[in-house]
């Protein structure tokens, strides 16, 4: 709260400084008087003011709301991939191109990575780091216990004993597979926190049995809550089973494994990737002139691509905000010109009793700025609500977008200054005698 107060004071003093230099205000009291007159004029023309302020608010909403939401999405992506570690990379049978609708972005599929290839690589690579391989068995499995039953929306994954440490998951209760259990045909399982809450009323699942698509498994461990996992729905709604059991019962020849590797030293990650590439090429008996028929990508590569693609959304937000604020500025200028016409006699009276042309000019410019600031406050509040909603939906902490708030208020100040300059100059040039005669 103290930070907010200090920020508000700094912004307010910034406005006073700019107004003082541009409008030659000698005393803050004069500015306050002009603000009071501006608020009185706003109340007398409430409908037009509200419409103009709402147009400005929409532009600020587009700026603050969309951009703060993008910042939240970037934080979510960074957090999601940082859990995997900056020293990890994947070996897959398909390219990792992220397609946002572009005509040239296509995913390339290569030869299937078999169980024997994955196991051979795992045994050859340990000198450079750790290896885990896994396979997605189902995305729409149905789980049940004597107590409850899930919808057919559970993900089933087959994995080895290293999967837990290389995938960013943590154990809550029990334990993960041993090397022997991972390669054996024992029907054991580790389940996510959402399944524990759904299938076990007492919240304790260890040594209990669940049925996944009719197959019975013994629960040996449960995972800590992780939330939404990019591209995989809820990470807490999954069942992990031993890769050996899955190979014997579910995985056919057409299904491919995904290999996750880490480097023992982050500084030597590129060297580890080159060695992994060489090892896997040897496993597939590729000749020197043969291109790779597999894909190696760093774990943070997809996050980088996704964040880069968000720049298009950011540009769209800039464009929407610019067009909306430009239209609001024209509307505000029109309203101020109408106000000059309607208040011609008032201006003439003020000049007749000693008001200077500069005083009239200040009054109209401050009035335009006040209208813009009202719209700015509404737009910032709506933008903060939008950013909070996105953060809540992604399960990440909401961060106050102070930079966009300050930019929004500065933009509103500039729009008010520019939009009010011509009407203010026109009002200041009115002849007091002609103004008093105006009907």
The residue with greater pLDDT, 7 or 374, is 374
Decide if 317 contacts 62 (C-beta within 8 A).
yes
Decide if 63 contacts 404 (C-beta within 8 A).
yes
C-alpha–C-alpha distance, residues 34 and 346, integer Å? 15
- pLDDT digits over 156-170, tens only? 999 999 998 888 788
The band of 297, judged by pLDDT with boundaries at 50, 70 and 90, is confident
Per-residue pLDDT at 101: 47
Domain ranges of the chain: 2-80+306-437, 88-299
| Averaged pLDDT of the chain | 77
pLDDT at 202 over 80: yes
Per-residue pLDDT at 339: 73
Structure tokens given for 149:
């039953």
Q: Residue with structure tokens 């239209």?
A: 327
Per-residue pLDDT at 31: 53
DSSP secondary-structure letter at 267?
A: G
Among 332, 312, 392, 389, CA closest to 57: 332
Contacts of 11 (CB under 8 A, 6+ apart): 406, 409
Average pLDDT over residues 304-331: 75
Per-residue pLDDT at 103: 46
Question: In Å, what is the CA distance from 182 to each residue of 141, 240, 395?
Answer: 21, 10, 32
C-alpha–C-alpha distance, residues 439 and 426, integer Å? 18
The band of 107, judged by pLDDT with boundaries at 50, 70 and 90, is low
Average pLDDT over residues 125-138: 86
The residue with greater pLDDT, 130 or 79, is 130
pLDDT at 50 over 60: yes
Per cent of the chain over pLDDT 70 is 75
- pLDDT digits over 272-292, tens only? 889 999 999 999 999 888 898
Among 161, 140, 155, 185, CA closest to 260: 161
- pLDDT digits over 210-260, tens only? 999 989 999 999 998 876 554 445 678 999 999 999 888 876 556 789 999
Residue 309, φ and ψ in degrees, nearest 5: -70, -25
Decide if 243 contacts 160 (C-beta within 8 A).
yes
C-alpha–C-alpha distance, residues 352 and 153, integer Å? 79
Per-residue pLDDT at 77: 66
């Amino acid at each position: 709260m103290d930070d907010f107060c200090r920020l508000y004071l700094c912004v307010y003093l910034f406005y006073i400084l700019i107004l003082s230099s541009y409008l030659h205000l000698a005393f803050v009291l004069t500015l306050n008087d002009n603000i009071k007159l501006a608020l009185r004029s706003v109340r007398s023309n409430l409908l037009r003011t509200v419409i103009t302020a709402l147009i400005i608010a929409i532009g600020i909403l587009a700026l603050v709301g969309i951009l703060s939401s993008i910042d939240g999405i970037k934080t979510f992506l960074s957090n999601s991939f940082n859990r995997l570690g900056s020293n990890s990379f994947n070996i897959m049978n398909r390219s990792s191109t992220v397609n946002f609708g572009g005509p040239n972005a296509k995913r390339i599929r290569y030869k299937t990575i078999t169980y024997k290839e994955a196991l051979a690589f795992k045994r050859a690579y340990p000198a450079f780091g750790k290896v885990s391989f896994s396979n997605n068995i189902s995305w729409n499995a149905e789980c049940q216990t004597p107590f409850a039953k899930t919808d057919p929306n559970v993900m089933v994954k087959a994995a080895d004993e290293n999967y837990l440490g290389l995938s960013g998951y943590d154990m809550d209760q029990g334990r993960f597979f041993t090397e022997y259990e991972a390669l054996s045909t024992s029907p054991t399982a580790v389940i996510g926190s959402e399944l524990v809450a759904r299938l076990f009323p007492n919240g304790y699942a260890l040594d209990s049995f669940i049925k996944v698509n009719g197959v019975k498994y013994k629960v040996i461990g449960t995972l800590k809550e992780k939330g939404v996992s990019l591209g995989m729905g809820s990470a807490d709604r999954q069942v992990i089973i031993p890769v050996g059991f899955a190979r014997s019962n579910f995985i056919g020849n057409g299904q491919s494994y995904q290999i996750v590797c880490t480097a023992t030293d982050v500084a030597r990650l590129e060297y580890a990737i080159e060695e992994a590439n060489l090892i896997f090429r040897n496993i597939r008996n590729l000749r020197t002139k043969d291109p790779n028929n597999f894909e190696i990508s760093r774990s943070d590569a997809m996050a980088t691509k996704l964040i880069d693609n968000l720049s298009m959304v950011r540009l769209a937000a800039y464009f929407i905000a610019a067009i909306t604020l430009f239209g609001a500025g024209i509307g505000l200028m029109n309203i101020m010109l109408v106000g000059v016409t309607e208040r011609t006699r008032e201006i003439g009276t003020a000049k007749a009793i000693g008001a200077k042309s500069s005083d009239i000019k200040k009054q109209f410019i401050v009035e335009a700025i006040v209208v813009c600031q009202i719209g700015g406050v509404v737009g910032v509040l709506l933008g903060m609500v939008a950013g909070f909603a996105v953060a809540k939906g992604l399960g990440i902490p909401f961060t106050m977008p102070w930079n966009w708030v300050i930019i929004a208020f500065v933009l509103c100040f500039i729009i008010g200054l520019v939009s009010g300059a011509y009407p203010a100059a026109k009002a200041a040039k009115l002849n007091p005698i002609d103004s008093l005669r105006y009907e």
